[in-house]
Amino acid sequence: MKRDDQSGLAAGGNKVRKLEYLLGAAAAQGCDCVVTAGAAQSNHCRQTAAAAARLGWPCHLLLGGEAPGRPEGNLLLDHLLGAKIHHMGPRRQGEDLPALADRLRAQGRRPAVLPYGGSNALGAAGFVHAMLELAGQCRTAGFAPGAVVFASSSGGTHAGLIAGGAAAGWHPRLLGIAIDKDLAGEGSLAERVIHLAEATASLLGLPGSRSAEVELHTARAAAGYGVVGAAEHEAMALLARTEGILLDPVYTARAFAGLLDLLRDGRLQRARNVVFWHTGGLPALFCQELFPLPPEVRAED
Ligand SMILES: *Cc1c(COP(=O)(O)O)cnc(C)c1O
């Protein structure tokens, strides 16, 4: 297991890798505050707030939905991290980012505007680095994974891993487990990953990646984003009770449930080494709406 849930910055997660590049560039360009958008329980927004705190920058978050009576999970941490929170109701996809950035510029600020999920070519560059890191660790350990399995949502993680594999000349099967049924804007997740992988390779001056290799297991996404069902509960309980490792209800539980599907139906051979990339998300466990500790997970006696 690759433990990006231990990546540092306020409960960890995969967005730290993207933020290293996104905010590094923003600092070099003289920015002095950051704005981004996401769902109320966005891990990306919570990690952005933490990174901004490290830089000493104000952080504005445009979050979907209404202000809850009692903030929980990631939203609670956003408050603790000092983010300026704007609850946007139905405008949940960052529609108002340009207007907010204009308002800040009119006040003399220089905002860094980060895309939804931190997923543009520069953010994905963090996962090129991550893939090179994994290749090096596997080489040192004498471990040859047949497949790397991970949650795929806004596509930056997946795209960076593809571009990084091409850069390293290292080709374990990259198997994304789709988390969202519908994506904002045009195109499928696979198309978005292809475009982003190519843009990332071109930004870094790397050889282009072979787009035919985008492999996605989409069946688990059918239930809808953030709908935590029996398969996710099974995955969370299994990892917690056999390894003492916590998955999050929205992303990594679904990704691990997808991995179990593939093992059970033979699409992944049990004999092959598999790396599960744990992308984080811990705070969502402490959001009642997402994880109310359902009867099937409750341990009594
Ligand atoms: C954002 C996120 C992902 C998905 O990463 P993308 O680059 O958006 O595809 C997976 N797991 C967790 C916990 C996340 O927060």
Task: Give residue 198 CA to ligand 1 midpoint distance, Å.
Answer: 19
Average pLDDT score over residue span 116-130 = 96
**pLDDT at position 183, please?**
62
Q: Is the CB of 74 under 6 A from ligand 1?
A: no
Q: Is the CB of 252 under 6 A from ligand 1?
A: yes
**pLDDT at position 142, please?**
96
The rounded distance, in Å, linking the Cα atoms of 116 and 42 is: 10
Q: Which two tokens stand for residue 117?
A: 């999920």
Judge whether residue 121 has pLDDT over 60.
yes
Average pLDDT score over residue span 173-185 = 84
Q: Is the CB of 44 under 6 A from ligand 1?
A: yes
Ligand 1 pocket check: which of 122, 279, 282 to mutate, most ligand atoms within 8 Å of Cβ?
Answer: 279
Digit-coded pLDDT (tens) for 237-253: 999 999 999 999 999 99
Under the banding of pLDDT at 50, 70 and 90, the label for residue 24 is very high
Give the predicted TM-score (pTM) of the model. Answer: 0.96
The owner of tokens 């811990």 is 282
Judge whether residue 46 has pLDDT over 90.
yes
The owner of tokens 């139906």 is 265
In angstroms, the Cα distances linking 177 to 53, 218, 253 are 32, 6, 10
Identity of the residue numbered 263:
L
Nearest ligand 1 atom to the CA of 248 is 13
**pLDDT at position 185, please?**
56
Task: Give residue 151 CA to ligand 1 midpoint distance, Å.
Answer: 6
CB 225 within 8 A of CB 205: no
Question: In sequence order, which ranges of 146-216 are alpha helices (DSSP H)?
Answer: 156-168, 189-204
Judge whether residue 97 has pLDDT over 60.
yes
Sequence-separated (6 or more) residues with CB below 8 Å from residue 115: 36, 94, 123
Rounded to the nearest integer, the mean pLDDT of the chain is 94
Q: Is the CB of 38 under 6 A from ligand 1?
A: no
Task: Give residue 55 CA to ligand 1 midpoint distance, Å.
Answer: 23
The rounded distance, in Å, linking the Cα atoms of 47 and 113 is: 15
**pLDDT at position 272, please?**
79
Digit-coded pLDDT (tens) for 188-229: 999 999 999 999 999 999 987 655 579 999 999 999 999 999
Q: Which two tokens stand for residue 90?
A: 């139905």
CB 177 within 8 A of CB 217: yes
Question: Which residues belong to the active site?
Answer: 42
Nearest ligand 1 atom to the CA of 250 is 13
Judge whether residue 294 has pLDDT over 90.
no
Task: Give residue 296 CA to ligand 1 midpoint distance, Å.
Answer: 26
Ligand 1 pocket check: which of 119, 127, 154 to mutate, most ligand atoms within 8 Å of Cβ?
Answer: 154
**pLDDT at position 296, please?**
81
Sequence-separated (6 or more) residues with CB below 8 Å from residue 188: none
Q: Is the CB of 48 under 6 A from ligand 1?
A: no
CB 154 within 8 A of CB 116: yes
**pLDDT at position 167, please?**
92
Q: Is the CB of 118 under 6 A from ligand 1?
A: no
Percent of all residues in the chain with a pLDDT value above 70, rounded to a whole number = 97
Count of Cβ atoms closer than 10 Å to residue 89 Cβ:
10
Please count the CA atoms within 13 angstroms of the CA of 77 that sit on its side-chain side: 26
* Residues written for the chain: 301
Closest CA to 22 of 11, 31, 10, 13: 31
Average pLDDT score over residue span 3-28 = 97
The rounded distance, in Å, linking the Cα atoms of 255 and 117 is: 17
Judge whether residue 159 has pLDDT over 60.
yes
Under the banding of pLDDT at 50, 70 and 90, the label for residue 269 is confident
Distance of alpha carbon 120 from its chain centroid, rounded?
13
Average pLDDT score over residue span 258-283 = 93
Identity of the residue numbered 262:
L
Q: Is the CB of 154 under 6 A from ligand 1?
A: yes
**pLDDT at position 93, please?**
84
